[in-house]
Chain A
Amino acid sequence: MNDQQQRTLSSILDAIIPPSDDGRFPGAGALGLVAHIAAAIERAPELGLTIEPGLAAAEELARADRGRAFAELSGAQRQSVLQALDAAQPGFLPTLTFHAYAGYYQHPRVIEALGMEPRPPHPHGYAMEPNDLSLLDLVRRRATLYRAG
């Protein structure tokens, strides 16, 4: 992707996942997910056949409707352009959203904002409370539930 495409993509990512009002969660573009999407395209080049025309279409719509680059639009204007884009190119936004969600919710900063430690599950795993097996008292009182062979 060239610089222009990357700017457009970053702005679209910020429109898909904007920063949260309380500041806990960053926008997906500001988090740097352009690199995540670029890496996904590198692994699966056919993805580029959906993403790159979508970026071009977003710019065309922005300039046609608003006379400005997508990145220069307000938040509401970006939403409006993306809704129009979703109707014009139905595959683009779901595909990009899938990859944006995947990249966003595995990012250490987001995991930490969710209240979890930003680390892989292994090796430390998670502590859990002992089981309350008194919950089984009702079931234990039931008669045999299986049929003999």
Chain B
Amino acid sequence: MSDDVVDVLIIGAGASGAAVAWSLADTRMNVLCLEQGDWMNPMAYPGTRLDWEMAQFGDFAFSPNVRKRRDDYPVNDADSPIAASMFNAVGGSTILYAAHFPRFRPGDFRTRTLDGVADDWPLDYRTLEPWYDVNARMMGVSGLAGDPAYPPKEVPLPPVALGKLGETLARGFNRLGWHWWPSDSAIATHDWEGRAACTNAGTCLVGCAQGAKASTDVTYWPVALRHGVKLRTRCRVREITVDANGMADGVVYYDAEGTEHRQGAHVVVVACNGIGTPRLLLNSRSSRFPDGLANRSGQVGRNLMFHPYGMVTGVFDEPLEGHKGPTGCCIMSQEFYETDRARGFVRGYSFEILRGFGPVFTALWGMGAGRLPWGPDHHRAYGELFDRTAGMVAICEDLPDPENRVTLDPALTDADGIPAPKITYRLSDNSKAMLAHAMARGKEVLEASGARATVAEAPLPFAGWHLMGTCRMGTDPETSVVNEWGRSHDVRNLFIVDGSIFVTAAAVNPTNTIQALALYVADRMKQNLANLFD
């Protein structure tokens, strides 16, 4: 048993936990983070091997149900057309993410006011703006200033290489007069703060052996540890405990050998992602909180948002050198971002241009798309696909629906016997209409770029990369889980800092906003230290 009470206990060492740990380090408080995963060894990432592409079907798969690492917990996703994706390690899901790093736009925080849907956030873009700037420097964001789709913003590093593929697609967008811009990317395009520059290896989604991609094990954590934060790995928290006054007083966790420990804390910060956080709170039942900790509103686990994705792949006549460059970062378009009700849906989507397929994925995609026969015609058909595909995805704003939710599975558990999460999720009619629009527009721009054939798929069943909304923030304790600075309405020394506190999802990748929000919450904690629990 480890009964030394720490000042602040952070649960989860991913995108948000790392940012909070770094921010709180300068308080000189005794800060401890418990992480169920371990440190990754970048030199063992699949990109160092010839068989790297197939790692996505094995121990570097998006889904924990496929990976089945000891550090993973299963997710019952049978009742969802989209499977949840996450990674458990120091760095969390930033180990596998694409590092596409856009900010939310000002209007994203005001969907009720602007469009009459969902709810406004209890804070605005201006509030987060300085924290986006801090995060840009800490993560090393590359991009290009001057995008008319955004207010002026700080971009410390020049944009990633667009390559022949990116410029081919850019010309297509120009032919249609549609917006596009080099993607904001959490990828060091020059050497940056001890990280080596991107080499365009194209292996981002199975871990960046170069260290150019900003996973938090190579950004926030080294600094936080130097500044005195303690990080204990292979520690899986079962529940947060409360004292007689209903305040959080620590956690019970299992170490790598499965031995149970208790860790006391004066403040608990939950940073376990939009599925792991509600799972932990729902597992933290007590006589005072019989429906789960911080759940008097009944909102814990509700309003799960994923961002429905659709993908369009174009086949071109000319080589595109698509195996070169960051996998998910090239150019993006927000031509269809804002609401135009004539399109048959509210809110909108972004397009993100991906790279082409490597040798193995060319074959497997061709097989799945019915474009690559086995037998005598195989080599001719493969030659028409290899280095001649360009992918693009539409990332659609997912509106909150209380029936889309995370609950505890009655039977499924992780290796330590802790009840696993179950997700229940339906695509809304709005999302379906948006996906249909996006697939048609995606084909249009690929054809304008010179594609001789296109293949669309929506929704992408494996693309539950973004986990949001399941402990939403708000000013009303009846309808939200945390207040406008991340503190639980019900438990005043409990904070949540991951994507679960999002009120809406916007139509961009969430990690930059998750971290800006975490930095903002940490700053508010520091500003209010004297009366943190009032």
Q: Interface on A for B, CB 8 Å cutoff?
A: 15-18, 20-21, 25, 75, 79, 82, 93-94, 97-98, 100-102, 104-108, 110-111, 114, 116, 118-133, 135-136, 138-140, 142-149
What residues of A have a CB within 8 angstroms of the CB of B372 in the complex? Answer: 101
Given contacts A142-B148, A149-B109, contact A122 B203 (CB under 8 A): yes
* Complex alpha-carbon distance, A119 and B375, angstroms: 28
B125 an interface residue at 8 Å Cβ cutoff?
A: yes
* Complex alpha-carbon distance, A116 and B360, angstroms: 13
Given contacts A125-B210, A127-B200, A143-B148, contact A102 B360 (CB under 8 A): yes
* Complex alpha-carbon distance, A136 and B174, angstroms: 8
What residues of A have a CB within 8 angstroms of the CB of B363 in the complex? Answer: 101-102, 104-105
Of A20, A100, A119, A148, the contact of B50 (CB 8 Å cutoff): A119
- Whole-angstrom distance from the CB of B166 to the nearest CB of chain A? 8
What residues of A have a CB within 8 angstroms of the CB of B199 in the complex? Answer: 122-126
- Whole-angstrom distance from the CB of A69 to the nearest CB of chain B? 20
B202 an interface residue at 8 Å Cβ cutoff?
A: yes
- Whole-angstrom distance from the CB of B215 to the nearest CB of chain A? 15
- Whole-angstrom distance from the CB of A55 to the nearest CB of chain B? 16
What residues of A have a CB within 8 angstroms of the CB of B162 in the complex? Answer: 131-132
Given contacts A102-B360, A128-B163, A149-B106, contact A138 B367 (CB under 8 A): no
Interface size in chain B (residues, C-beta < 8 A): 68
Q: Mark B456-481, 1 if CB is under 8 A from A, else 0.
A: 00000000000000000000000000
CB pair A131 B379 closer than 8 Å: no
- Whole-angstrom distance from the CB of A8 to the nearest CB of chain B? 16
Given contacts A135-B170, A146-B106, contact A122 B45 (CB under 8 A): yes
Write 7 A-B pairs (CB below 8 A) sorted by A numbering.
A101-B360, A101-B367, A122-B201, A128-B325, A147-B107, A148-B106, A149-B108
- Whole-angstrom distance from the CB of B11 to the nearest CB of chain A? 31
CB pair A25 B367 closer than 8 Å: no
CB pair A106 B53 closer than 8 Å: yes
* Complex alpha-carbon distance, A20 and B53, angstroms: 24
What residues of A have a CB within 8 angstroms of the CB of B177 in the complex? Answer: 138
Closest to B127 in A: A149
What residues of B have a CB within 8 angstroms of the CB of A147 in the complex? Answer: 105-107, 114, 338
What residues of B have a CB within 8 angstroms of the CB of A94 in the complex? Answer: 367
What residues of B have a CB within 8 angstroms of the CB of A82 in the complex? Answer: 374-375
* Complex alpha-carbon distance, A53 and B174, angstroms: 54
B49 an interface residue at 8 Å Cβ cutoff?
A: yes
CB pair B379 A20 closer than 8 Å: yes
B386 an interface residue at 8 Å Cβ cutoff?
A: yes
Of B47, B105, B378, the contact of A18 (CB 8 Å cutoff): B378
* Complex alpha-carbon distance, A105 and B53, angstroms: 10
* Complex alpha-carbon distance, A111 and B149, angstroms: 41
Q: Mark B173-209, 1 if CB is under 8 A from A, else 0.
A: 0100101111000000000000000111111000001
CB pair B50 A111 closer than 8 Å: yes
* Complex alpha-carbon distance, A129 and B105, angstroms: 31
Of B54, B181, B210, B324, the contact of A136 (CB 8 Å cutoff): B181
* Complex alpha-carbon distance, A7 and B169, angstroms: 47
B3 an interface residue at 8 Å Cβ cutoff?
A: no
Given contacts A128-B325, A147-B107, 8 further A-B contacts (CB under 8 A): A82-B374, A101-B363, A122-B201, A123-B199, A127-B200, A146-B105, A147-B106, A149-B106
B290 an interface residue at 8 Å Cβ cutoff?
A: no
What residues of A have a CB within 8 angstroms of the CB of B50 in the complex? Answer: 106-108, 111, 118-120
What residues of A have a CB within 8 angstroms of the CB of B53 in the complex? Answer: 102, 106
Given contacts A111-B50, A126-B202, A131-B162, contact A105 B360 (CB under 8 A): yes
Closest 3 A/B residue pairs (Cβ): A125-B199, A149-B106, A121-B201
CB pair A144 B114 closer than 8 Å: no
CB pair B379 A142 closer than 8 Å: no
* Complex alpha-carbon distance, A16 and B377, angstroms: 10
CB pair B360 A106 closer than 8 Å: yes
What residues of A have a CB within 8 angstroms of the CB of B149 in the complex? Answer: 145-146
* Complex alpha-carbon distance, A94 and B162, angstroms: 35
CB pair B110 A149 closer than 8 Å: yes
What residues of B have a CB within 8 angstroms of the CB of A123 in the complex? Answer: 48, 199, 209-210
Q: Mark B413-438, 1 if CB is under 8 A from A, else 0.
A: 00000000000000000000000000
What residues of B have a CB within 8 angstroms of the CB of A75 in the complex? Answer: 376
CB pair A114 B171 closer than 8 Å: no
B146 an interface residue at 8 Å Cβ cutoff?
A: yes
CB pair A16 B210 closer than 8 Å: no
What residues of A have a CB within 8 angstroms of the CB of B202 in the complex? Answer: 121, 126
* Complex alpha-carbon distance, A108 and B149, angstroms: 44
Of A16, A131, A145, A149, the contact of B337 (CB 8 Å cutoff): A145
What residues of A have a CB within 8 angstroms of the CB of B171 in the complex? Answer: 135
CB pair A149 B126 closer than 8 Å: yes
B26 an interface residue at 8 Å Cβ cutoff?
A: no
B341-379 interface with A by 8 A CB criterion: 359-360, 362-364, 367, 372, 374-376, 378-379
- Whole-angstrom distance from the CB of B382 to the nearest CB of chain A? 8
Closest to B181 in A: A139
Given contacts A127-B200, A139-B179, contact A116 B161 (CB under 8 A): no
CB pair A17 B378 closer than 8 Å: yes
What residues of A have a CB within 8 angstroms of the CB of B166 in the complex? Answer: 131
CB pair B174 A138 closer than 8 Å: yes
Q: Mark B115-129, 1 if CB is under 8 A from A, else 0.
A: 000000000111000
CB pair A79 B376 closer than 8 Å: yes
Closest to A119 in B: B50
CB pair B47 A122 closer than 8 Å: yes
* Complex alpha-carbon distance, A25 and B198, angstroms: 32
Of A18, A102, A114, the contact of B54 (CB 8 Å cutoff): A102
B151 an interface residue at 8 Å Cβ cutoff?
A: yes
Closest to B380 in A: A20
What residues of B have a CB within 8 angstroms of the CB of A121 in the complex? Answer: 47, 52, 201-203
What residues of B have a CB within 8 angstroms of the CB of A120 in the complex? Answer: 47-50, 52
Closest to B173 in A: A139
CB pair A18 B324 closer than 8 Å: no
